[in-house]
Amino acid sequence: MAIYIDTIGKASIHKLIVVVECKSCGRQARFLSKDLAGVYGHSRDPRTLPFKCQQCDTYDCKIMMEFPDFDRVREKTIWRPMKVKGP
């Protein structure tokens, strides 16, 4: 069955992992979709989120979604998003 995910809310229902990859250096970061929905709202398109690469200092990132792989147990780092208030 193919599903079209156009909001973070739909991704969190299916418990997807949002993978962000920098187009310049290839660095990846993974986030739980339910954490992103709590910060940015359930109706936001995940492909429009403002991710910034720490290494390249650019916003040019590719955003993908994947199902968690329960068959193969491998170590993954899941980042937690948070909003930081400026001075």
51 domain residue, yes or no: yes
2 domain residue, yes or no: no
Distances in whole angstroms, Cα of residue 66 to Cα of each of 13, 42, 54, 55: 13, 18, 22, 24
86 domain residue, yes or no: no
Q: Which residue has the higher pLDDT, 39 or 86?
A: 39
pLDDT of residue 86: 66
79 domain residue, yes or no: no
Give residue 61's domain range: 8-74
Structural domains counted in the chain: 1
56 domain residue, yes or no: yes
62 domain residue, yes or no: yes
What tens digit of pLDDT does each residue of 5-64 get?
Answer: 889 999 999 899 999 999 999 899 999 999 999 888 999 998 888 888 888 888 899 999
60 domain residue, yes or no: yes
83 domain residue, yes or no: no
Distance CA 87, CA 85 (A): 7
Distance CA 75, CA 72 (A): 10
Q: Is the pLDDT at 1 greater than 80, yes or no? A: no
Q: Which residue has the higher pLDDT, 75 or 46?
A: 46
pLDDT of residue 87: 63
- Name the DSSP letter for residue 8: H
Q: What is the pTM of this model?
A: 0.79
pLDDT of residue 19: 92
